[in-house]
Structure 1
């Protein structure tokens, strides 16, 4: 029998209620990776003008869209041969190796947090999540 998404959510809620102890503590919780994941990191890029030399400037906004009170940290992005003609603070974004760039020096991105920076180069680099770690309260 096929269940709708709302039926599945309802069943999960019932299971969680059953697992609540007398002290009101949940003995079992969803896996952290089920609460927040790669899909909760959004990366938006847009054109942001040009340098006096005519090189395009791009604005990058990286945000934690997770709805749970979880912290996403150690965010690494696919970034190819990323380079920029203007300096980007390495604690915000830095290329570690080919196709591996570190966001926020590995520090946490809290729910709703948006991190932004600008880079300038002849073309926009495609950026996507390579790896991240999630920490959620139990």
Structure 2
């Protein structure tokens, strides 16, 4: 029994986000199962920092998610982002992948340029 608890603790330390998505939300359909990673990736014109964003669907218990909305009230970029990948739908929200289905494990990537990195937060999504 102690070995079982030790294994669970190790898993929670190694991959807390994915495990919490599976254990806390066993249905696998919640904004917490969409992970957003970003890092600096060079410079755009006029030495403005460029950031790469990867958004991963970690909701393994369903066929896919769609209509993923991300909070972006003050988001701006000096470089053009493909609107089929990431676009503003109103003053405070952006739509990911044009509302299309994002399969489990699928990664959506885009780059933007701004002085500081933007804190993206998944607000809402729908599951298949």
Aligned to 1:17: none
Structure 2: gaps (5+ residues)? 1-25
Whether 2:35 is the aligned partner of 1:35: answer no
The answer to which of 64-73 and 37-46 deviates more is: 64-73
Deviations 1:65-92 (A, max 9, x none): 1122421000000112111111100000
Check the 8 A contact 2:62/2:127 in 1, yes or no. no
Identify the residue that residue 44 of structure 2 maps to in structure 1: 51
Q: Distance in 1 between matches of 2:117 and 2:28?
A: 31
5+ residue gaps, structure 1, are: 1-32
Aligned to 2:77: 84
Aligned counterparts of 2:34 and 2:63: Cα–Cα separation in 1: 12
The structure with the larger Rg is 1
Distance 1:52 1:129 in 2: 29
Q: Is this contact kept in 2: 1:74–1:105, CA < 8 A?
A: yes
State the aligned residue count: 104
TM-score, with structure 2 as normaliser? 0.76
Inter-partner Cα distance in structure 1 for 2:63 and 2:102: 9
> Which residue of the partner structure matches residue 60 of structure 2?
67
List 4+ stretches of structure 1 deviating above 2 A.
Answer: 33-36
TM-score norm. by structure 1 comes to 0.71
User: Does residue 109 of structure 2 align to residue 116 of structure 1?
Assistant: yes
Q: What's the counterpart of residue 3 of structure 1?
A: none
Distance 1:127 1:35 in 2: 20
More helix per residue: 2
